[in-house]
Amino acid sequence: MKHSPQISVIVPVYKVEKVLSRCINSILSQAYTNFEILLIDDGSPDKSGLICDDYAKLDTRIRVFHQSNKGVSAARNKGLKEAVGEYVLFVDSDDCFSVEWLKLLGTYVGKYDMCFWGAKILSGKDQEKVVGEYLPIQKDTDHDASLADIIYSLFKIGLLGYVWSMCIRRNIITQNGILFDENIAIHEDAIFCYACLKHAKKLYVFAEQPYNYYLNDLHSSSSLSSKMPTYYSAVALRRVKMMEDLLCYVNMDDVRSSEIISLLKYWSYARYIDHAYYSSNRKDSLLKVMEEMDVFSDFKPQSIKELIFKLIIRMKSPYLVIVCKKILNIFR
């Protein structure tokens, strides 16, 4: 009987010919070897698909799948369908892992349903300048933390919901029919993560930053308005409701639950406002956001910044939003 790898590494690939080798090499250079790499070429118009094929010829642990362009969720779902490892983890094709990471991860995954870790955010001309970070606190359900403790801890540092920051026991996904929603292009990773957490019993959090997340042009303010889908408010509401369900499932206390839901509502509202601010028809876009996101306006401010934001949106004045955005920069 053919031996199955312990870990399936799923890499969606699209228009990354300049940086794809960095990603793949960071996985192949690991001292740990019991893994497979699934490269999902999502209809790349550049040479990314050819690069994938070249790597597959060099290492039998690499499997390549080509499909027409359907988006990152469809690419990840293809990877989930083809994966055979006991665990799955996701890497964005313009990012990479530190060299020794899978060796450390491999000693823990068999004991837990899901593991989480931090990341360094890099930018600059050579993309090597650290401009931010996610550094979680080590916790695990076997010794010092409950499911609620871990979810709260990860959420508070803004890390909960990024699929590149976690690995999952694959049978949690397959037995519960969990997939990425291919009909949405925002918060799909968070929704997937929350669904997995509802079926996880044992969690481990590493106080490590093995993941290198590279900022690129897609994260610039000039692209904000073009990337915000018209259905954002519906997806944001779905995310909030899924979080409420998850917090109930893990029996989180009312104080921390209220804090999480309020923050999620505030972050969602502020993000939509931020995108509307950069739109071509700023005034009308801001009015539209205030109307659509009114259901989120009941969040409880937990800082001066949030209190100011709440007072502004209550007045429903796009001009006031514009002035405060320019003067106080309160939405960043």
If one compares 40 and 312, the residue with the highest pLDDT of the two is 40
Interval 27-56 mean pLDDT: 97
What count of other Cβ atoms lies within 10 Å of the Cβ of residue 230? 8
pLDDT of residue 2: 56
Q: Provide CB contacts within 8 A for 31, sequence distance 6+.
A: 99, 100, 102, 103
pLDDT of residue 324: 82
CA distances for 288 relative to 61, 203, 285, angstroms: 50, 40, 5
The chain-wide mean pLDDT, for the chain, equals 92
Q: Provide CB contacts within 8 A for 289, sequence distance 6+.
A: 269, 272, 273, 276
Q: What is the pLDDT of residues 145-203, one digit of tens each?
A: 999 999 999 999 999 999 999 999 999 999 999 999 999 999 999 999 999 999 999 99
For the CA atoms of 166, 218, 49, 68, the dihedral, rounded to the nearest 10 degrees, stands at 90
Sheet strand arrangement including 7-13: 62-67, 35-42, 7-13, 87-90, 166-169, 114-116, 203-205, 139-140
| Percent of the residues in the chain that have a pLDDT greater than 90, as a whole number | 81
Separation between Cα atoms, residue 222 and residue 277, nearest integer Å? 11
CA distances for 14 relative to 28, 54, 55, angstroms: 20, 16, 16
Grade residue 221 by pLDDT with cuts at 50, 70 and 90: very low
* Bridge partners for 177 per DSSP: none
Q: How far apart are the first and last CA of the chain?
A: 54
| Structure tokens belonging to residue 14 | 């699209």
Grade residue 222 by pLDDT with cuts at 50, 70 and 90: very low
Give the start-to-end residue ranges of the domains of the chain.
7-219, 222-328
Q: What is the pLDDT of residues 61-120, one digit of tens each?
A: 999 999 999 999 999 999 999 999 999 999 999 999 998 999 999 999 999 999 999 999
Q: What is the pLDDT of residues 116-161, one digit of tens each?
A: 999 999 986 666 789 999 999 999 999 989 999 999 999 999 999 9
- Four-way CATH pick for 7-219: 3.40.50.1000, 3.90.550.10, 1.10.3210.10, 3.40.630.10: 3.90.550.10
pLDDT of residue 219: 42
Residue 245, CA atoms < 13 Å, CB-side half-sphere: 14
Please check the confidence at residue 212 and state whether its pLDDT lies above 90: yes
Grade residue 319 by pLDDT with cuts at 50, 70 and 90: confident
Closest by Cα among 262, 280, 281 to 270: 262
Closest by Cα among 109, 189, 209, 205 to 154: 205
pLDDT of residue 328: 57
pLDDT of residue 330: 47
Q: Which helix (H) or strand (E) holds 327?
A: helix 318-328
- DSSP states along 120-153: EEEETTTT-EEEEEE-PPPEETTTT--HHHHHHH
pLDDT of residue 74: 98
Interval 237-266 mean pLDDT: 97
